[in-house]
Structure 1
Amino acid sequence: MSSIRNDHEVARDLATEAGQQLLRLRDRHGFEEPEVLRTLGDRLSHEFLFSALGRLRPSDAVLSEEGADDRRRLTARRVWIIDPLDGTREFAEAGRGDWAVHVALWENGRLTAGAVALPAQGSTLSTVDPPWLPEQRPSDQRLRITTSRTRPPEFVQRLATQLGAEVLPMGSAGAKICAVLLGIADIYLHAGGQYEWDSAAPVAVAHAAGLHASRIDGSKLTYNEADPSLPDILVCRPELSSMLLASVREVADLDGADPHAGA
């Protein structure tokens, strides 16, 4: 892989190759020892991505879910934010495709490139060629909200009931945001706790495609912070954002509900 490739291509190619390595690991190891498979997958993908970025972008810092936090990143101009295996539970379950590899670049205060590989689905969505969004969604189509498969926030179901929306549980945060990008869902909403690496790459692609992405109170998603916790997120078509933010506030106010509380 040549170092002259631009950052968008580097993100796409590294996420894709890491995903292919994870598929081969799945085939070799099988699913009889899921905990071992999850550990091996995390390690394999992290080591590949960390080594490749060190070779291709040696002056850049890296923040990885699976690596030690090098605090020099806080003064760096360019930081790669990676989740080597997002959705480890799903990765270790036969037949599941809702897991991903995330590679994003944060540069001078904002996300500038990103890619989400969905290896078991045979695709990578990236800022090289962001998905095209239809100008309008069918007005008679029921809203679809994708949320956590294993720890859905209680308020999401209340919100879905209020909106008459269908809830689509999925695994990886990257897979859920890609579902919005691909028109499988209209909304991704989460408030049960996440970190920067869970959303950086899919948010970079979502922004490039023209989606709305924010905290659930409407504030900006920020990255490369001293504390990488980024506990809640809303991703949706831009024309839905004002209505959804107002609905989240309304549902959260009912009976003193806490939108950050998981189920």
Structure 2
Amino acid sequence: MSTPPLPIAPDLLKAVRESCLEAGAIATDLFRPGAKTAARTWSKSGGSPVTEADIGVDTFLRIRLSALLPEAAWLSEETVDDALRLSRRFVWVVDPIDGTRAYMSGLPDWAVCVALLDEGEPILGVVHAPASHATYTTLRGGGAQKNGGAISTTPVSRLGEARIAGPKPMLDALARIEPFEPVDKIPSLALRLARIADGSIDAGLISADARDWDLAAADLILRESGGTMSGGAGEAVVYNRATPVHGVLVASGNGLSAPLLAAMQRLRETQSQRL
């Protein structure tokens, strides 16, 4: 039996959006368009980069969002994971700066991402991209918006007509199965999904190892705009697991989902025959 929606959801979305705008301003203070960031940078264990802006935004959002919904647990790229989230109905899922490498290099494709999970399902999402002048918002069942206006995916249903973004090795492999129009990689996974949602592109591929915080907010935005994201074999995306890591993912408008998954299946069969 599904749990009821939050009765304060519309007001909560407005407050979360305002919090993300403020968080974006914190990050923008150290962002240098076309140049190296003014923020101090270092590498985390595993080699991925982090900046003082990531930490500052994370701290700000944890204080602000926890005040908005104190009963919600917390899952963020820049905070030590707490298993308490596995037993909570509500969980904030946050990526302070999705696309940190782009941010560090002065490229515009980075975003502040916030989702709220209810029993593991996204019910609220905000993806705020200050340098791209785009703020995407959604509530489950309420459609998706960009800068306050309704958005929707494209009606494209043929792979040969599709504009697809993703890592070049994945695009090259898929193109050997069926032709399409490749799009330059969008460094922020959240923006890759959001641009499918607003019709800028038709589909996106995501390599293995994405995390809940990269995906949850933009996944709901995509769903509410008439799109879908799944594993490469069509399996559902599950959030708030003990290890919040995902395999290969594909995303598109609903009309393109079946042909894209069929092409991915043929790609897997071809690759297995070569082994």
Which deviates further from its counterpart, 228-237 or 34-43? Answer: 34-43
How far has the Cα of 1:115 moved from its partner? 0.8
Give, in whole Å, the separation in 2 of the partners of 1:138 and 1:76.
39
In structure 2, the CA distance between the partners of 1:234 and 1:86, relative to structure 1 (3 Å rule), is same
Aligned to 1:101: 112
Is the 2:95–2:113 Cα contact (8 Å) retained in structure 1? yes
How far has the Cα of 1:25 moved from its partner? 2.1
Question: Is it true that 1:200 corresponds to 2:211 in the alignment?
Answer: no
In structure 2, the CA distance between the partners of 1:27 and 1:155, relative to structure 1 (3 Å rule), is closer
Aligned to 2:16: 11
Give, in whole Å, the separation in 2 of the partners of 1:134 and 1:180.
6
Give, in whole Å, the separation in 1 of the partners of 2:273 and 2:93.
33
What are structure 1's unaligned runs of at least 5 residues? 259-263
SS of aligned partner of 1:113:
strand
Give, in whole Å, the separation in 2 of the partners of 1:87 and 1:257.
35
- Of 50, 60, 71, 2:72 maps to 60
Aligned to 2:82: 70
| Per-residue deviation, residues 73-131 of structure 1 (Å, max 9, x unmatched) | 1000100111111100000112x111111100000231101010111011210105614
In structure 2, the CA distance between the partners of 1:23 and 1:252, relative to structure 1 (3 Å rule), is same
Give, in whole Å, the separation in 1 of the partners of 2:152 and 2:162.
16
Is the 2:155–2:253 Cα contact (8 Å) retained in structure 1? no
- Of 159, 180, 189, 2:174 maps to 159
Q: Which has the higher contact order (CA 8 A, sep 6+)?
A: 1
Is the 1:74–1:224 Cα contact (8 Å) retained in structure 2? yes
Q: How does 1:221-232 map to 2 (within 5 A)?
A: 221-232=237-248
| Per-residue deviation, residues 182-232 of structure 1 (Å, max 9, x unmatched) | 222110111232111110110011111121111111111111111111132
Is the 1:145–1:160 Cα contact (8 Å) retained in structure 2? no
Over the matched positions of the two proteins, sequence identity in percent amounts to 28
Give, in whole Å, the separation in 2 of the partners of 1:200 and 1:218.
17
Give, in whole Å, the separation in 2 of the partners of 1:88 and 1:237.
27
Question: Aligned pair count?
Answer: 250
Aligned to 1:214: 230
| Per-residue deviation, residues 138-160 of structure 1 (Å, max 9, x unmatched) | 97983111113xxx4x3431213
Q: How does 1:247-262 map to 2 (within 5 A)?
A: 247-256=263-272
Aligned to 2:47: none
In structure 2, the CA distance between the partners of 1:242 and 1:195, relative to structure 1 (3 Å rule), is same
Is the 1:155–1:251 Cα contact (8 Å) retained in structure 2? no
Aligned to 1:48: 60
The letter for the 2-side match of 1:164 is P
